[in-house]
Amino acid sequence: MLEIKDLQKSFQKDNGIESRVLKGLNLIIADGEFVTVLGNNGAGKSTLFNLISGTILPNEGTIYLDHEDITFMPEHKRSKFIGRVFQSPMKGTAPHLTVAENMALAYGRQNRKNFNWALTRPLKALFREKLAEAGMGLEDKLDSKICDLSGGQCQVVALIMCTIKPPKLLLLDEHTAALDPRTAEDVLAFTSKIIAKDHLSALMITHHLEDAIAFGDRLVMMDDGVVAHDFAGAEKAELTTEQLRTLYHLRES
């Protein structure tokens, strides 16, 4: 479903020295697979997501999605089939528009003609139905501005916006890192529910060892710009946080 071959990315520092972030990364994600991604700061996790979504382009290597080479495809074209939820609750939404307006923009893929059409009563009913699944009372906040919601509610709206039309690939970029532990737990449970219901292919970056073990079908550990370990099945189920800390000296943020 997603195939990454020999992906390499370097950045030029202010002093002119080249910093190699990804150093020939290889990764294959099967259709419908939910993979958690773990690694120290500087391991290349965010760079990997930026390359997949098209925010930046690689120096070398290829990215295939459904057997299509998207390595140099413009970001706006990828956004039609790659959904991404960011760490900041406000990123990926229009904070001063209402929940309904944000969802209409997502549903119409930011096309003005479709935007007008998407605010009809039947689609508002659809939005209300999707929001109600989260159990946060968001179905009664269609006319509330995003900036007036709590952080957890913002993240749930952003997640629903990304999945109201199921994407080929969902990228979860530390989407619970800015939330308190209880809210993060609720958002993760809802995330897992949506991924399972729609059989989505998903990658989720996290710094919490317990979450990396508890969620997903596989756990990929990145180190120094490559995939250093790939745990799946019984091997993943038997992992402990102590083993992960020993392997990579990781500390939960």
Separation of first and last alpha carbons in the chain? 31
Q: What is the reported pLDDT for 250?
A: 54
What is the model's pLDDT at position 246?
84
Kindly tell me if the per-residue pLDDT of 252 is higher than 70.
no
Confidence check: pLDDT of 114 > 80: no
Q: Report the share of the chain in percent with pLDDT over 70.
A: 94
CA atoms within 13 A on the CB side of 163: 27
How far apart (Å, rounded) are the C-alpha atoms in residues 93 and 99?
Answer: 9
Once rounded to an integer, what is the mean pLDDT over residues 175-198?
Answer: 94
At residue 109, the pLDDT reads 65
Where does the pLDDT of residue 86 fall: very low under 50, low under 70, confident under 90, or very high at 90 and above?
A: very high
What pTM value is reported for the model? 0.92
Mean pLDDT, the chain, rounded, equals 91
Longest dimension (CA), the chain: 57
Measuring CA to CA, how many Å separate 80 from each of 27, 187, 198, 207, 239?
A: 22, 24, 17, 28, 36
Higher pLDDT, 247 or 110: 247
H or E stretch including 85?
strand 82-85
Q: What confidence score (pLDDT) does residue 223 get? A: 92
Rounded to whole angstroms, how far apart are CA atoms 188 and 172?
A: 10
* Whole-number Å distance between alpha carbons of 253 and 249: 13
Rounded to the nearest 10 degrees, the angle between the axes of helix 121-132 and helix 99-107 is 100
- The pLDDT of residue 60: 97
**pLDDT tens-digit readout, 128-140:** 999 999 999 999 9
Q: Which amino acid is at 182?
A: R
Residue 44: pLDDT above 90? Answer: yes
pLDDT, mean of residues 119-125: 84
- Domain range annotation of the chain: 2-81+167-248, 95-149+156-165
Q: Answer whether residue 96 shows pLDDT above 90.
A: yes
Query: Between these two residues, 110 and 62, which has the higher pLDDT value?
Result: 62
Q: What would the CATH number be for the domain defined by 2-81+167-248?
A: 3.40.50.300
Token readout for 43 is: 């391991």
Round the CA-based radius of gyration of the chain to a whole number and report it: 18
Give the pLDDT confidence score for residue 40 in this predicted structure.
87
Report the length, in residues, of the chain.
Answer: 253
If pLDDT is split at 50, 70 and 90, which confidence band does 11 have? Answer: very high
Q: Over 60: is that where the pLDDT of 218 sits?
A: yes
Query: Considering only CA atoms, which of 227, 217, 223, 230 is closest in space to residue 250?
Result: 223
pLDDT in tens, 132-163: 999 999 999 999 999 999 999 999 999 999 99
Helix 151-163 × helix 121-132 angle, to 10°? 120
* Per-residue pLDDT, 18: 87
In a 13 Å sphere around the CA of 3, the CA atoms on its Cβ side amount to: 7
Higher pLDDT, 209 or 111: 209
What average pLDDT does range 60-67 have in this prediction?
Answer: 96
